[in-house]
Structure 1
Amino acid sequence: MLTAGTGVYAGTQLQEIKAYLNGNIQLKYNGTPIQARDEKGNAVLPITYNGTTYLPVRAVADVMGVAVSYDAKTSTVELGEKAEGVAIAKDFKDMYYTKDPAQTTYLGKDYKEAFFDNAGSKRSSSFMLYPKGKYQKLYLQVAAVGEDIDNFFVNDSEKDVKLKTDTIAVKDGLKTIEVDITGVNELFVNADLKSSGAMFVPLTTSYYK
Structure 2
Amino acid sequence: MIKDVTVQINSAVKYKLNGNEFIPKNVDGSKMDTLIYNGRSYVPLRAIADAFKVAVDWDGATSTIILGEREGKGVSLLDLKPRLEDFFYDTEYLVITSDKDALTFHGDTEVVFNFGIDSVSKSKSATKIFVSLEKKFQTLKFYTWTTDNDGKLVIWDTTNKSSIELKRFDIPKNELKEIEVNVGGVDSLLIEFGGYNKTKFVIAEPYLK
Cα contact 1:19–1:47 (8 A) shared by 2: yes
C-alpha distance in structure 1 between counterparts of 2:198 and 2:13, whole Å: 61
Larger Rg: 1
Q: Secondary structure of the residue that 1:16 maps to in structure 2?
A: coil
Q: Which residues in structure 2 correspond to 1:170-181 (within 5 Å)?
A: 170-173=173-176, 175-181=177-183
- Is 1:206 the counterpart of 2:194? The answer is no
Structure 1: which 5+ runs fail to align?
1-12
Q: Which residues in structure 2 correspond to 1:100-179 (within 5 Å)?
A: 100-107=99-106, 110-144=112-146, 146-157=147-158, 158-173=161-176, 175-179=177-181
Deviates more, 1:14-23 or 1:107-116: 107-116
Residue 42 to residue 71, structure 1, CA distance change in 2 (3 Å): farther
Deviation per CA, 1:20-46: give whole Å up to 9, x if none: 222232222233332211233232222
Q: Secondary structure of the residue that 1:61 maps to in structure 2?
A: helix
Deviates more, 1:156-165 or 1:120-129: 120-129
- Is 1:71 the counterpart of 2:68? The answer is no
CA-CA distance at 1:109 after TM superposition: 5.2
**TM-score normalised per structure 2:** 0.79
1:6 equivalent in structure 2: none
Deviation per CA, 1:87-108: give whole Å up to 9, x if none: 1120234332224444244445
Q: Secondary structure of the residue that 2:51 maps to in structure 1?
A: helix
**Paired positions, count:** 193
Match of 1:37 among 13, 25, 34: 25
Cα contact 2:116–2:206 (8 A) shared by 1: no
C-alpha distance in structure 1 between counterparts of 2:2 and 2:13, whole Å: 26
C-alpha distance in structure 1 between counterparts of 2:150 and 2:206, whole Å: 18
C-alpha distance in structure 2 between counterparts of 1:15 and 1:160, whole Å: 43
Residue 39 to residue 137, structure 1, CA distance change in 2 (3 Å): farther
**TM-score normalised per structure 1:** 0.79
Match of 2:186 among 177, 184, 187: 184
Residue 194 to residue 16, structure 1, CA distance change in 2 (3 Å): same
Q: Secondary structure of the residue that 2:193 maps to in structure 1?
A: strand
Question: Once superposed, which parts of structure 1, at least 4 consecutive aligned residues long, lie more than 6 Å away?
Answer: none
- Once the two structures are aligned, what percentage of the paired residues are identical? 24
Q: Secondary structure of the residue that 2:102 maps to in structure 1?
A: helix
C-alpha distance in structure 2 between counterparts of 1:44 and 1:24, whole Å: 11
Q: Secondary structure of the residue that 2:203 maps to in structure 1?
A: strand
C-alpha distance in structure 2 between counterparts of 1:50 and 1:118, whole Å: 62
C-alpha distance in structure 2 between counterparts of 1:190 and 1:170, whole Å: 17
